[in-house]
């Protein structure tokens, strides 16, 4: 990431440990993004007006925007009470996301890392709720000519084989999502959006499985080369 992310995250939970754990997980996926846990009260479980207020002030420091994720309904109420009393300048740069707490935090963090703006980061968080919905599995595309590159209707396509035994688990999925976000290209892997860490994880792709990577746009060739280097290098795990 060439510049600090312009959008921070505030994770409001009734549990201090849950907020800290979710923040730690999201930070692993998006290093450098400001992610602030605001969980619990001095007495234990619950939500703290003062802690949320302090976290929002820190999150929006220096002109940053902030997306807030909450774990339960009363956390939303406390956050809204904070926003009712906050400065108008801060309120204008804060959005509450109606999103799953952990998955939304991860998706939002990766989007912020990639340079997404406030509304796009909130949308990424809220879209996370639909990623694992439904019983149907994500499409898996078989490849017969691994490593081949084909030009297809304005884009390019390459077939690769995962070399690391664990495949596209959280860390390499986040690495790919961050990577493709830096190119002026739309990239899919086995039919899903490669800029979405949750979509990639949903594939359940493990070592030895074939991937069909397609890229469309001005940077399609460079994006394919970057994905190929990461996959063929086994994400440092092979």
List residues with catalytic annotation.
14
Other CB atoms within 10 A of residue 165 CB = 12
Contact present, 215 and 150 (Cβ < 8 Å): no
Pairing of strands 186-189, 65-70: unpaired
Q: Residue 10 and residue 99: Cα distance in Å, rounded?
A: 13
Give buried/exposed letters for 119-157 (b at 16+ CB in 10 A, else e): ebbbbbbbbbbebeeeeeebeebebeeeeeeeeeeebbb
Q: Residue 93 and residue 178: Cα distance in Å, rounded?
A: 24
């Amino acid at each position: 990431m060439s510049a600090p992310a312009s959008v921070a995250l505030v994770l409001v939970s009734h549990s201090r440990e849950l907020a800290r754990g979710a923040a730690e997980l999201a930070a692993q996926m998006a290093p450098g993004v400001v992610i602030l846990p605001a969980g619990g009260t001095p007495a234990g479980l619950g939500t703290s007006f003062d802690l949320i207020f302090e976290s929002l002030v820190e999150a929006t420091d220096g002109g940053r925007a902030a997306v807030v994720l909450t774990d339960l309904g009363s956390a939303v109420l406390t956050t809204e009470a904070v926003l009712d009393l906050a400065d108008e300048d801060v309120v204008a740069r804060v959005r509450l996301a109606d999103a799953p707490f952990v998955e939304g935090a991860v998706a939002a963090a990766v989007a912020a890392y990639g340079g997404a703006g406030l509304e796009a980061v909130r949308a990424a968080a809220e879209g996370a709720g639909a990623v694992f919905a439904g019983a149907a599995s994500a499409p898996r595309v078989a490849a017969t000519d691994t490593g081949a590159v084909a030009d297809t209707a304005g884009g390019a396509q390459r077939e690769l084989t995962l070399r690391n035994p664990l495949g596209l688990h959280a860390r390499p999925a986040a690495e790919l999502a961050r990577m493709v976000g830096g190119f002026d290209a739309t990239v899919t892997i086995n039919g899903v959006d490669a800029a979405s860490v949750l979509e990639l994880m949903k594939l359940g792709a493990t070592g030895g499985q074939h991937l069909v990577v397609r890229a469309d746009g001005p940077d399609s060739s460079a994006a394919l080369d970057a994905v190929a280097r990461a996959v063929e290098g086994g994400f440092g795990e092979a």
